[in-house]
């Protein structure tokens, strides 16, 4: 545990999985000790907590470790749910899990290749973008009749997909807005949420050499 007895979050400001977890933690009003990690030089304490070595990792008081972003979202909204992000009978939470799984299995890899296409000169960038489109089409049609993923209010279901879709949209914004107008409008609505705006991205690296 941290000196202030807060849960510890191993994190990285550029990681979309961290971003989704931090939205949920902000929403639930859960303060954490943020430990900004260089993924090229992972702290031993982080690897002791979770040897698989991915961020985010949340270490709770008592030592419980949650090392999957989706599970951090679920844990956070179950701690405190001031705006009913779980939905009736947890329906929005169930949809969040489905969208998180689809995001990570169908969209994560091709969108990574598309985003970092200059690192992969042998790949077909247009094909990687094409491979992202079925997942995005599913979200786009969901938004044809409602403002958010689960009805007309922001909920847990928006959280797992927002960071990755926002990152994708920034690559070719004019093309994205034309191809996915509902998603483009949704991105602006989600970005306007105070829970999303509370997530900041200017952390200094955690100085683990001195603090353990
Ligand atoms: N399934 C994990 C994925 C997390 C993940 O892949 N995070 C990346 C950073 S965006 C990472 O830590 N990669 C490890 C590395 O680069 O060594 C989750 O949802 O938490």
Per-residue pLDDT of the chain (212 residues; tens, 9 = 90+): 555 789 999 999 999 999 999 999 999 999 999 999 999 999 999 999 999 999 999 999 999 999 999 999 999 999 999 999 999 999 999 999 999 999 999 999 999 999 999 999 999 999 999 999 999 999 999 999 999 999 999 999 999 999 999 999 999 999 999 999 999 999 999 999 999 999 999 999 998 864 55
3-state secondary structure of 34: strand
Mutation test residue for ligand 1: of 17, 49, 59, 106, the one with most atoms within 8 Å of CB:
17
CATH of domain 88-193: 1.20.1050.10
Contact in structure between 212 and 169 (CB atoms under 8 Å): no
Give the closest residue (by CA) to ligand 1 atom 13.
Answer: 54
Task: Please tell me the pTM assigned to this model.
Answer: 0.96
Give the closest residue (by CA) to ligand 1 atom 9.
Answer: 15
Q: Where are the domains of the chain?
A: 8-83+196-211, 88-193
Ligand 1 binding pocket (C-beta < 6 A) is 12, 15, 17, 39, 53-56, 68-70
Task: Let me know if 25 is exposed, middle or buried by CB neighbors in 10 A (0-12, 13-18, 19+).
Answer: buried
Q: Which CATH architecture has domain 8-83+196-211?
A: 3-Layer(aba) Sandwich (3.40)
């Amino acid at each position: 545990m941290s000196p202030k007895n807060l849960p510890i979050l191993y994190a990285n400001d550029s990681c979309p999985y961290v971003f989704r977890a931090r939205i949920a933690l902000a929403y639930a009003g859960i303060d954490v000790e943020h430990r900004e990690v260089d993924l090229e030089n992972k702290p031993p304490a982080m690897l002791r907590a979770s040897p698989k070595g991915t961020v985010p990792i949340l270490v709770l008081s008592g030592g419980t470790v949650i090392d999957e972003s989706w599970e951090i979202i679920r844990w956070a909204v179950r701690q405190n749910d001031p705006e009913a992000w779980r939905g009736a009978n947890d329906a929005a939470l169930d949809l969040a899990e489905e969208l998180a799984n689809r995001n990570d299995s169908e969209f994560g890899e091709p969108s990574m290749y598309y985003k970092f296409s200059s690192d992969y000169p042998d790949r077909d960038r247009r094909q990687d973008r094409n491979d992202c489109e079925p997942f995005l089409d599913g979200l786009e049609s969901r938004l044809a009749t409602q403002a958010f993923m689960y009805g007309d209010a922001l909920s847990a279901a928006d959280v797992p997909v927002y960071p990755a879709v926002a990152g994708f949209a920034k690559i070719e914004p004019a093309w994205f807005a034309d191809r996915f107008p509902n998603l483009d409008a949704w991105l602006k609505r989600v970005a306007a949420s105070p829970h999303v705006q509370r997530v900041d991205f200017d952390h200094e690296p955690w100085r683990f050499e001195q603090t353990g």
